[in-house]
């Protein structure tokens, strides 16, 4: 899709390819200087194609700005534009033999066209020197985030034109520079594409408008959430899910745990009712699984197939399932380990291509594939802007399951599309609540208590 947008600028608008490269490289050089102002020696590792051509041009712009910048040809130039910019850099004396000492490396070896295997000549970089990747890190499939070659990992990416799916599967920070592709694509990313340009398989969701409550709502219209969770050994997980449902606006919340777990629920908000696990069809939604253990596997499978109300399946409940779709509305909320058990695949394999994993989960039911930037199923997949370190704490996923349960009970979904819209809203609220809860070190209960402020915020 990115290459097709480039062709629209070159062939449709009439911007010559070398001029487009010149514009992109100037913007990248500006980001390099802003991000690494103390880097006086910059080495740009250049490949044979247009990513390498951008790299040679970046060297020239950095040099003109007073930076000691040198290009290193990792592979000889082959594309027309790369040869053009490499020749200019060489005539200016900006091409080095070997890899000189550096305060910053810029990876401009391979870009969006990478597919396995990516094979490179031996390259030794100085340990501890940061690596900034130009557009796409070398060794990474831009569409999936899968590693397809061995190359030093990037610390930061300056991506050109449009966001690429790999940005939400790699633990990397990034800047986006605009070279005019949005104008020919017809608007913001994901808003629609002109004829001949493929719709993206995944889009970034950075903000959502709030879902307002109406004056006529009652506790019954806001729904009754049942939280089927919490074995005696892990009662707190169920309590956190119930707290998440309460803070997300459920009219009523009942925690369904064995009597022997009641004394271990801690400081449970007084609004949450506690009952034994019975009469499950009285609730508007169920959250099934947090802290449940494996003793209830048979009942979990019965709920999956028999109960008609919308249900969230999380944690231990996911392990009890065999991957057969339910005839009723369901939402899955697995992290990588839970997805591995559900899909019968190694978790590292699933994490290597998170977008494909999300599509595999969707074949069973709508899902939130949890991670630093969670993926919500749909067409296209929606990647929720993450990077919230506060979320990486025990019990945070239980809170997310509770938010999902509250929104299911209140919004009364009618089909899978409704479920996925609810999942998107729940995921965004959860991420925002993590940011509002405070610095790293806050607990999952603090995240739950920040939910009302997160839910009230507009995008």
Q: What is the pLDDT of residues 214-260, one digit of tens each?
A: 777 889 999 999 999 988 888 889 999 999 999 999 999 999 998 88
Domains 2-200 and 224-456 agree in fold = no
246 touches 269 (CB < 8 A): yes
- Per-domain boundaries in the chain: 2-200, 224-456
pLDDT computed for residue 345 by the predictor:
95
294 touches 269 (CB < 8 A): no
**What does the buried/exposed string (b/e) look like for 256-285 if buried means 16 or more CB atoms within 10 Å of the residue's CB?**
bbeeebbebbeebeeebebeeeeebeebbb
**Do strands 273-275 and 252-256 pair parallel, antiparallel, or not at all (unpaired)?**
parallel
Closest CA to 309 of 333, 326, 285: 285
**Range with lowest mean pLDDT among 160-164, 209-213, 360-364, 395-399:** 209-213
409 vs 14, 118, 225, 320, 416, CA distance in Å?
53, 49, 6, 24, 15
**What does the buried/exposed string (b/e) look like for 204-220 if buried means 16 or more CB atoms within 10 Å of the residue's CB?**
bbeebeeeeeeeeeeee
Percent of the chain with pLDDT over 70: 88
- In CATH, which of 3.40.50.720, 1.20.1250.20, 3.40.50.1820, 3.40.1190.20 is domain 224-456? 3.40.1190.20
pLDDT computed for residue 194 by the predictor:
35
Q: Check pLDDT > 70 for residue 9.
A: no
- Could you give the CA distance from residue 115 to residue 112 in angstroms, rounded to a whole number? 9
Structural tokens at position 253 = 């919340």
Pick 181 or 293 by higher pLDDT.
293
- Could you give the CA distance from residue 345 to residue 364 in angstroms, rounded to a whole number? 15
- Could you give the CA distance from residue 231 to residue 457 in angstroms, rounded to a whole number? 35
Q: Check pLDDT > 70 for residue 48.
A: yes
Average pLDDT over residues 48-68: 95
Task: Give the Cα-Cα-Cα angle 157, 163, 169 (nearest 5 degrees).
Answer: 70
Number of other CB atoms surrounding residue 226 within 10 Å? 30
E-state strands within 314-412: 330-332, 368-369, 375-376, 381-384
Q: Check pLDDT > 60 for residue 318.
A: yes
Number of other CB atoms surrounding residue 62 within 10 Å? 25
What's the CATH class of domain 2-200? alpha beta
DSSP string covering 429-452: HHHHHHHHH-STT--HHHHHHTHH
Cα diameter, the chain:
81
pLDDT computed for residue 332 by the predictor:
98
Q: Check pLDDT > 50 for residue 186.
A: no
- Could you give the CA distance from residue 104 to residue 129 in angstroms, rounded to a whole number? 6
pLDDT per residue over 354-382, tens digit each? Answer: 888 999 999 999 999 999 889 999 988 88
Q: What is the pTM of this model?
A: 0.76
- Could you give the CA distance from residue 247 to residue 147 in angstroms, rounded to a whole number? 40
- Could you give the CA distance from residue 166 to residue 146 in angstroms, rounded to a whole number? 8
Q: Check pLDDT > 50 for residue 105.
A: yes
pLDDT computed for residue 365 by the predictor:
98
pLDDT computed for residue 364 by the predictor:
97
Mean pLDDT, the chain, whole residue set: 87
pLDDT computed for residue 222 by the predictor:
92
Q: Check pLDDT > 90 for residue 417.
A: yes
331 touches 310 (CB < 8 A): yes
Q: Check pLDDT > 70 for residue 261.
A: yes
pLDDT computed for residue 275 by the predictor:
93
DSSP β-bridge partners for residue 205: 384
pLDDT computed for residue 451 by the predictor:
95
Pick 209 or 225 by higher pLDDT.
225
- DSSP-based three-state secondary structure for 108: strand
């Amino acid at each position: 899709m990115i290459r097709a947008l480039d062709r629209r600028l070159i062939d449709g608008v009439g911007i010559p390819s070398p001029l487009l490269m010149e514009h992109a490289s100037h913007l990248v050089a500006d980001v390099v200087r802003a991000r690494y102002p103390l880097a006086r020696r910059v080495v740009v590792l250049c490949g044979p194609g247009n990513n390498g051509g951008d790299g040679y041009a970046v060297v020239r712009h950095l040099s003109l700005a007073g930076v000691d910048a040198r290009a290193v040809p990792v592979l000889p130039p082959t594309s027309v534009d790369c040869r053009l910019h490499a020749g200019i850099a060489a005539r200016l004396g900006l091409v080095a033999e070997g890899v000189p000492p550096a305060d910053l490396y810029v990876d401009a070896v391979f870009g969006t066209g990478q597919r396995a295997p990516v094979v490179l000549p031996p390259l030794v970089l100085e340990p501890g020197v940061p690596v900034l990747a130009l557009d796409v890190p070398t060794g990474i499939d831009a569409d999936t985030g899968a590693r397809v070659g061995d190359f030093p990992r990037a610390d930061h990416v300056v991506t050109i034109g449009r966001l690429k799916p790999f940005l939400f599967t790699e633990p990397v920070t990034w800047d986006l520079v605009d070279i005019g592709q949005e104008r020919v694509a017809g608007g913001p990313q994901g808003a629609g594409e002109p004829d001949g340009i493929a719709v993206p398989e995944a889009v970034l969701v950075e903000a959502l408008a709030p879902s307002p409550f109406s004056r006529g709502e009652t506790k019954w219209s806001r729904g009754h959430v049942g939280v089927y969770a919490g074995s005696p050994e892990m009662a707190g997980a169920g309590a956190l899910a119930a707290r998440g449902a309460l803070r997300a606006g459920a009219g009523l919340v009942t925690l369904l745990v064995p009597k022997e777990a009641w004394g271990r629920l801690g400081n449970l908000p007084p609004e949450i009712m506690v009952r034994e696990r019975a009469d499950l069809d009285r609730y508007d939604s169920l959250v099934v699984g947090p802290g449940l253990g494996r003793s209830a596997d048979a009942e979990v499978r019965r709920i999956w197939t028999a109960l008609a109300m919308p249900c969230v399946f999380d944690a231990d409940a996911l392990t009890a399932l065999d991957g057969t779709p339910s005839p009723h509305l369901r939402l899955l909320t697995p992290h990588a380990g839970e997805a591995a058990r559900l899909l019968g695949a190694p978790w590292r394999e699933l994490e290597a291509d998170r977008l494909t994993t999300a599509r595999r989960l969707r074949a069973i039911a709508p899902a939130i594939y949890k991670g630093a930037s969670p993926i919500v199923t749909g067409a296209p997949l929606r990647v929720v802007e993450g990077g919230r370190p506060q979320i990486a704490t025990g019990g945070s996923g239980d809170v997310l399951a509770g938010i999902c349960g509250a929104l299911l009970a209140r919004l009364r979904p009618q089909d899978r599309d409704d479920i996925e819209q609810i999942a998107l809203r729940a995921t965004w609220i959860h991420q925002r609540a993590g940011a509002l809860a405070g610095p790293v070190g806050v607990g999952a209960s603090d995240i739950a208590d920040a939910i009302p402020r997160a839910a009230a915020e507009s995008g």
